[in-house]
């Protein structure tokens, strides 16, 4: 009998056989944004050297925010000039007033144009203020203007979770031009965070068409975080108008710039054993086997040699033994990741237990982005930790004031006024604050930012709720730490990038408590990203 040899590997780049658009993966959205900023800067300078205009197609949304910060920094710190730049934005809501906080016109001026030296006459965005008839004409004119400027040199794109580019929703024709479109319900839900509530999200938009986008000489599509499924579909799936971004497979100079999370569903990341030789670490074995078990809907211990071979894992069998042994190894790894003793089981030494039994009791710190994520996302663990005798603290990272409605505040104001009257409390300062707050809310305009006093009251309401939670769990008031991270305090849905101040506050709490365990509560699917920022702050601290 001949000894088994390793299966022969073909000498081709297997990644290419799955990915039909070039993809560059960065370890963070910030690094990816910096790369795109440098691409733009290089093009601007190249054009400047030739005395030419540089025509940029720009996008809005949460994706390019860091890109714009980097461009502003390049302008302020490294003298990058935008005097030769002409811009065309992809889209605008319809109808919307130009000056509305949520218009893309306001967004672009706030995040980029007001902070660089671009000539105002070189800025173009679709106009959301026109009548429908005039808007149609303006769409034709927009196409004309792009052409007269010499076409778009570099188009920046984001991508919707349904695969839209610009506001070209699934079903948009490959031949579509700049036009009025009606927004997909999923897009309105995704973008509701920019507005007070979903009913205020415009039902229509003006967008460049797919053919307009495809005419750009170069395209950079950026995607971060939770866009993994649609990125894989667009890059590896069939070209279809049902996934507008997949049509970019037909462009000859398009690059996807994504972070690791957005890359998670690409075959080379998700099933790397299918795209090349890999090192079979314990973690990789676990991933491969769990993935196969889920796909076949079979318990890990029932997987057979046949299953391994059929699912591209014959390599693993060759290197690590038979299916039975590998199944057991993975089963033990899964078993040892589960516990009813999140703080460790005292006075027992269980090998492979996910947490140390000593020291006991432990100091545990739960970071909760808003004053309710502790109980929402890890309420069971929170209660267990406390019930099992640990000293549990909660760091409420932001005030959460933006989520409190004006109606709710009015109710509390009524209570406070009633309380004063009931007990004959005569406090001039308090009376003044209460009457000013009531007056402000009664005459508050749409989109008007709350006064610091109203924000403080809203924050206080949420603090009281958080304290109630702690009391319910059995944790004392002194263990609830309200951090009020400053990045959150803009008074608007859009938050500032975090700074050293946020990090310092976090470090201070960590140093004060010296916790044995740190938990980060929250849900990274949260579209407005506060949970992600809060996690990044903890990791950096």
- For the chain, what's the residue count? 541
Print burial letters for 44-83: b (CB count within 10 Å at least 16), e (below 16): beebbeeeebbbbbbbbbbbbbbbbbbbbebbeeeebebe
Q: Which of 10, 9, 18, 14 is nearest to 315 (CA)?
A: 9
Least Å distance, CB 532 to ligand F6R, is 12
Exactly one of 169, 194, 265, 494 is catalytic; name it: 169
Min CB(217)–ligand F6R separation in Å: 19
What are the contacts of 450-457 at 24+ separation with CB within 8 A? Answer: 450/401, 450/491, 454/409, 455/399, 455/401, 455/489, 455/491, 456/401, 457/409, 457/412, 457/413
Phi, psi of 54 (to 5 degrees): -115, 115
Task: Give me the residue whose beta carbon is nearest to ligand F6R.
Answer: 158
**How many Cα atoms within 13 Å fall on the side-chain side of residue 151?**
10
CA distance 400 to 451: 15
Residues ≥6 apart with Cβ < 8 Å to 461:
404, 408, 409, 412
297: left (phi over 0), alpha (psi -120 to 50) or beta: left
Smallest separation (angstroms) from ligand F6R to the CB of 447: 19
Residue 169 is among the residues annotated as catalytic for this protein = yes
Min separation Cβ 90 and ligand F6R, Å: 4
Question: Which residues here bind ligand F6R, judged by CB under 6 A?
Answer: 59-63, 90-91, 158-160, 164-167
Closest approach of Cβ 268 to ligand F6R, in Å?
Answer: 23
> Taking the complex as a whole, how short is the minimal distance between the CB of residue 63 and ligand F6R, in angstroms?
3
The H-assigned helical ranges of 192-313 are 210-214, 228-236, 267-270, 282-296, 305-310
Q: Nearest 5°: phi and psi at 526?
A: -60, 115
Q: Are 93 and 104 in contact (CB under 8 A)?
A: yes
Catalytic residues: 169
């Amino acid at each position: 009998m001949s000894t088994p040899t390793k299966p022969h590997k073909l000498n081709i780049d297997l990644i290419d056989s799955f990915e039909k658009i070039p993809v560059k993966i960065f370890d963070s959205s910030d690094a990816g944004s910096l790369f795109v900023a440098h691409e733009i800067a290089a093009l601007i300078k190249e054009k400047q050297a030739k005395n030419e205009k540089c025509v940029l197609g720009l996008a809005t949304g949460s994706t390019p925010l860091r890109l714009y910060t980097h461009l502003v920094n390049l302008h302020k710190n490294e003298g990058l000039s935008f005097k030769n730049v002409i811009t065309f934005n992809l889209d605008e809501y319809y109808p919307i007033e130009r000056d509305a906080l949520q218009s893309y016109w306001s967004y672009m001026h706030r995040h980029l144009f007001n902070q660089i030296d671009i000539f105002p006459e070189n800025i173009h965005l679709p106009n959301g203020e026109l009548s429908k008839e005039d808007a149609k004409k303006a769409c034709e004119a927009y196409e004309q203007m792009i052409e007269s400027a010499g076409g778009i040199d570099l188009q920046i794109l984001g991508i919707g979770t349904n695969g839209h580019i610009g506001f070209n929703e699934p079903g948009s024709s490959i031949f579509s031009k700049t036009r009025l479109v009606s927004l997909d319900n999923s897009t309105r839900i995704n973008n509701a965070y920019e507005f007070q509530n979903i009913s205020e999200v415009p039902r229509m938009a003006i967008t460049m068409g797919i053919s307009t986008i495809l005419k750009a000489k170069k395209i950079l599509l950026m995607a971060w975080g939770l866009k993994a499924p649609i990125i894989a579909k667009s890059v590896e799936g069939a070209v279809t108008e049902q996934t507008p971004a997949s049509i970019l497979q037909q462009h000859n100079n398009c690059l996807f710039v994504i972070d690791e999370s957005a890359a998670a569903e690409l075959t080379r990341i998700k099933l790397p054993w299918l795209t090349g030789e890999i090192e079979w670490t314990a973690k990789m074995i676990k991933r491969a086997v769990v993935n196969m078990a889920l796909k076949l809907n079979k318990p890990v211990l029932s997987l057979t040699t046949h299953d391994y071979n059929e699912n591209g894992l014959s390599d693993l069998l060759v290197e690590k033994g038979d299916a039975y042994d590998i199944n057991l190894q993975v089963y033990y790894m899964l078993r040892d990741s589960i516990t009813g003793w999140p703080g460790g089981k005292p006075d027992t030494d269980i090998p492979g237990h996910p947490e140390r039994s000593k020291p006991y009791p432990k100091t545990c710190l739960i970071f909760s982005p808003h004053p309710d994520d502790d109980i929402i996302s890890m309420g069971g663990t929170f209660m267990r930790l406390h019930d099992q005798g640990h000293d549990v603290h909660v760091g409420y990272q932001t005030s959460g004031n933006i989520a409190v409605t004006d109606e709710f505040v009015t109710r509390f104001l009524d209570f406070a006024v009633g309380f004063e009257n009931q007990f004959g409390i005569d406090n001039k300062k308090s009376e003044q604050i209460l009457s000013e707050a009531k007056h402000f809310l009664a005459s508050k305009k749409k989109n008007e930012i709350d006064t610091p006093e109203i924000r403080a009251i809203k924050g206080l309401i949420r603090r009281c709720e958080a304290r109630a939670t702690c009391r319910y769990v059995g944790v004392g008031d002194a263990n609830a730490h309200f951090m009020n991270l400053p990045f959150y305090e803009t008074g608007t849905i859009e938050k500032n990038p975090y700074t050293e101040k946020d990090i310092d506050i976090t470090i201070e709490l960590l140093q004060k408590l010296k916790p044995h365990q740190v938990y980060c509560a929250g849900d990274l699917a949260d579209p407005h990203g506060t949970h992600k920022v809060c996690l990044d702050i903890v990791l950096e601290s």
